[in-house]
Structure 1
């Protein structure tokens, strides 16, 4: 399999290849602009908001309402923010309504939900389980994958019942939780037992001013040196990595300090999304995930502050617990780990961590919040290196820039070779490709679906053996 080498001073965001048409239609062009407010008296009529504005309003109301605040979510149908309150104080309700939110009185406070999550941690930290706060139901949603059976299931079910019927719900997932090693613009590392493949998430500037990128922490723990091609020389080195524990993120610095690292995501078909800011996830909002294995997919945020218990990759009897993740129903597969989760208007939301299911049957997927990763590493979003903007990316040599409109679908087989290739990240996607055909992958379109599964196998890391919750390298 041949790989084009990216010019040394051109490094592009990890994401490219054939996009699922359903997600692409939603994402491009940027439509459904929000309104500042609904008609009528804004003091009593909920405002119509776009998701990012709803997230900002939720943060403001959390501060204003204090202990009365019990979570919030975005109603994508009405484009309104719904705020849960546990106080019957009319002043509290009036404040939230005047701000433009829909107010809903609920039973469980934030403190009570956090206490329930702590009980789950103490009594039910079992590989193949997860839990997250679901503000739509005002409960904790507990999920168990297909490996949680027998005594493990009984223990989990007993713990959930002990919390009370109004505090938590439990459901079974058909798949297994795993990390998805492989992804966005594919990045590779050679380890003792084979090749590890992950995805570049977002280009950033490290605290010392050098160009770098964020990816999944389990990728940074698995290998130190990363290349933009399977057999190429390393172009970047892990600076910091967190996994397991309080997150799943790595900061990887480019070895060449003059590397240009544009702050954008290439979503295929000659289209890019400029990444302008880090954004906190809001339950109910639509988000987009890009990965080299499965391309572009969209879905909704379903839970926040999720705890996921992966089967340990190093200890057959152990568990790798990761906290503080975003839960969604966006699909992902092996090879998507570390890839970008973002919003239509250019907000960097998450890095692909792991989950269950696939892009045929769906499932649950978890993401590391970008805001937390930036805070922990001291990095900032934005272009690194002089002239890293789109204007410097002429022709087909532009990683993430506009693709040559004359490029045909047939030309695009070179596209996938974009495991980092600056050359084509903007190549035209095959319009005949559908979401059901993710085998036309972004990271290496020359590989077949069967080849992808071999890549994602990660025998060197033990990640994708299907025995447990899987991290998505």
Structure 2
């Protein structure tokens, strides 16, 4: 986790995303794109080569897919093996570990696929790798369950694939694993930025992160953006306090929430689009693997990508190991930590870290939102 003093913030390449602490707008449900800002619409059209109506079809289809996945997950029980949404065909493939469950999948309007492992078995493999992660070399950058391939992928620095295979052997992994080169060493996005951040102190220095989503009484953000009990501030050197970090978990997870203590700051359901407008959050239904997802940041604006996998374990450059992250193709840059992720207007999570940048692309991970809400019994603000 690379951090720099505020005094060195000028000239650094950074990215920040902040929640607008102002009035709430009214959401419209007339069309699937009624709640999408022009900036988010433009970003989705650019990222996926779609018309405006095509973006609407995509959002509507993946909202339906999310509901279908949730229903089949409950109905199929142990036979449910995972789900993958196809952004091109708008089809939802639901994997089953028992062929007798295929008819129920078809009846729900999804495409059945019989798999050998399924998400439960793949999750066991990820857990086995987590158990031996303490002895893994820094050249092994992380691992995740890939539902498309029905396999576990271990990422390693170029030329160090052997270390990844050795880790799999130590974990006693029997399920097929795929070793791939990592695009770069993941790091948390906690670089020093200006603009619309919130500030906090650590070890005598000032640091900055971004607000994620408003909740009753405060906001959620990334866990590496301040220890529990620390204060958050509007400015440096701290003349106006926003609130106090009421809960923080990092590493293992990357989640935190800040209780607002200054009545001048009012949490809302709005996310800043950095183009003079806001996006109103309407809920937190989790989008399936393969769905589109967008994030916004002060430096690079709106950027969109695809959810590649969930429940990834990432080993950041400081050897901090974080579990349960969602892997995406959307780019991000330093200073984005804690910022918001949206699928349409559904809140998905807060930025944790990644590799690459928005010039040549990269991989970015976010901490899913619902586990944050559940851990501290928080209520997401929606409009």
Q: Which band: TM-score by shorter chain?
A: 0.7 to 0.9
C-alpha distance in 1, partners of 2:289/2:323? 17
1:200 is paired with a residue whose SS is: coil
Residue 229 of structure 1, CA deviation: 3.1
C-alpha distance in 2, partners of 1:229/1:49? 40
Counting strand residues as a fraction of each chain, which structure ranks higher?
Answer: 2
Say whether residues 1:141 and 2:144 are aligned partners: no
The corresponding residue for 2:233 is 227
Give per-residue Cα distances to partners, 1:312-363, cap 9 Å, x unaligned. Answer: 4xxxxxx32211111111111110000001112x111010001111111222
C-alpha distance in 1, partners of 2:336/2:22? 16
Size of the alignment, in residue pairs? 340
**Cα RMSD between the aligned structures?**
3.0
Residue 281 of structure 1, CA deviation: 3.4
C-alpha distance in 1, partners of 2:308/2:72? 20
- Trace 1:76-225 onto structure 2 (pairs within 5 A): 76-89=87-100, 92-125=101-134, 126=136, 127=138, 128-145=140-157, 153-160=161-168, 163=173, 167-182=176-191, 185-205=196-216, 211-221=217-227, 224-225=230-231
Residue 259 of structure 1, CA deviation: 3.0
Residue 24 of structure 1, CA deviation: 5.9
Question: Which of 260, 282, 286 is equivalent to 1:280?
Answer: 286
CA contact (8 A) 1:238 1:250 kept: yes
CA contact (8 A) 1:49 1:80 kept: no
| Structure 2: segments with no counterpart, 5+ residues | 1-6, 8-19, 24-37
CA contact (8 A) 2:202 2:226 kept: no
> Normalised by the size of structure 2, how large is the TM-score?
0.80
- Trace 1:346-357 onto structure 2 (pairs within 5 A): 346-357=345-356
C-alpha distance in 2, partners of 1:198/1:103? 42
| Structure 1: segments with no counterpart, 5+ residues | 2-9, 36-47, 206-210, 313-318, 384-388, 390-473
CA contact (8 A) 2:41 2:52 kept: no
> Normalised by the size of structure 1, how large is the TM-score?
0.65
Question: Which of 43, 50, 54 is equivalent to 1:23?
Answer: 43
C-alpha distance in 2, partners of 1:269/1:290? 10
C-alpha distance in 2, partners of 1:336/1:376? 23
Question: Which of 240, 243, 246 is equivalent to 1:239?
Answer: 246
C-alpha distance in 1, partners of 2:329/2:229? 29
CA contact (8 A) 2:144 2:309 kept: yes
Say whether residues 1:326 and 2:336 are aligned partners: no
C-alpha distance in 1, partners of 2:274/2:214? 18
CA contact (8 A) 2:210 2:336 kept: yes
User: Larger Rg: 1 or 2?
Assistant: 1
C-alpha distance in 2, partners of 1:297/1:218? 23
